[in-house]
Amino acid sequence: MRVAVLDDYQHKAAQLADWDSLSAEIDFFHAPISDLVMTLAAYDVLVLMRERTKFSAETLAALPNLKLVVTTGMRNASLDVGHLHDRGVPVSGTGIPNYGAGQGVASTVEIAWGLIFATRKRVVAEDRLLRQGVWQAEMPVNLAHSTLGLVGLGRLGSQMVAPAKAFGMEVLAWSQNLGAERAGELGAQRVGFGELLAYSDVVSIHLVLSERTRGLFGAAQLEAMKPGASLINTSRGPIVEEAALLDALRRGRISAGLDVFDQEPLPPGHSLTALDNAVLTPHLGYVSEEALAGMYAEAVEDIAAFQAGTPIRLVS
């Protein structure tokens, strides 16, 4: 059995799980693959880091040897699971260690706050300018007495509330299914979407990408944001229309802290990389040694279970 482990950008996967316990030949790929069909045609098993590489039905159909696909997490919007089910190819998933209140959530929330500090306190901009000999180019903005608007108050969004309160921020929240009572229990005030945009100094997105949320932030919504506010996105790139965001940033109307993008990895020379009021990180939200070790360990378990004839953690 040949196993391909994709998108191991940090060259860590081999060290983080007991791949040698499998009766298989394991290959690790450390960069995006330009020709998926030619590169992967001989493999029986693919191990995917969720939503890093897109596998359409057309691509999967051209991989005739495929017997099992393992994806980290229990859903992968970039994988045509239905096609694999129709072919009788099982798809196994993994958890994220202590996802309810632990490593997966903590990592993403910490990245979100890192982007908030970077945009509001000008950490990245002033570091860059200081290296060029410029001392105190502009003034940072205090978090105290400002307003954090959370678009989504679920597992991730709710973990943003306590740090905001500790910094003396008011917390507003909105999502389509959020009620005022539930928001109050979590320490936030439920408001309408338009009100959140108008009054928030920082708007942080914590929603799952779906047909309902795709393009939720377009030109009108970005224009409705408070002038000088910061937009933080650690969820999924397509929730924000990229062209509209680029326009708002170029006009200096808002700043942005982005961990996710329409196309990942972000291509060299992308328009976002030329903007000083955008702080960019390479989708680090759920990336930590502890989280990856847990996911890869379960990927090994998934492959071993398949080899034993009893696939586990099947993705529906």
Is 264 tagged catalytic? yes
Residues 75 and 136 in one domain: no
**What is the SS3 assignment for 201?**
coil
Q: What CA–CA distances, in Å, run from 112 to 145, 160, 241, 257, 259?
A: 19, 8, 19, 8, 8
The count of domains in the chain is 2
Residues 49 and 196 in one domain: no
Identified catalytic residue from 120, 206, 236, 313: 236
Residues 141 and 213 in one domain: yes
Q: What is the pLDDT of residue 72?
A: 93
List per-residue pLDDT tens for the chain, 316 residues long. 999 999 999 999 999 999 999 999 999 999 999 999 999 999 999 999 988 899 999 999 999 999 999 999 898 989 999 999 999 999 999 986 544 444 446 789 999 999 999 999 999 999 999 999 999 999 999 999 999 999 999 999 999 999 999 999 999 999 999 999 999 999 999 999 999 999 999 999 999 999 999 999 999 999 999 999 999 999 999 999 999 999 999 999 999 999 999 999 999 999 999 999 999 999 998 888 888 999 999 999 999 999 999 999 999 8
Identified catalytic residue from 190, 283, 298, 313: 283
What contacts 218, CB < 8 A, 6 or more positions away?
241, 244
94 touches 313 (CB < 8 A): yes
Is 2 tagged catalytic? no
Is 283 tagged catalytic? yes
Residues 170 and 298 in one domain: no
Residues 231 and 264 in one domain: yes
Residues 123 and 240 in one domain: yes
Residues 223 and 164 in one domain: yes
Domain with 42 in it: what CATH number? 3.40.50.720
Domain of 41 in residue numbering reads as 2-96+289-307
Residues 124 and 92 in one domain: no
Tokens 């959140």, residue? 196
Rounded Cα distance, 66 and 42, in Å = 8
Judge whether 315 lies within some domain: no
Identified catalytic residue from 264, 298, 301, 313: 264
Taking each continuous run of H as one helix and of E as one strand, the counts in the chain are 12, 12
Residues 109 and 185 in one domain: yes
Q: What is the pLDDT of residue 51?
A: 81
pTM of the predicted protein model:
0.89
Tokens 């326009």, residue? 247
Judge whether 19 lies within some domain: yes
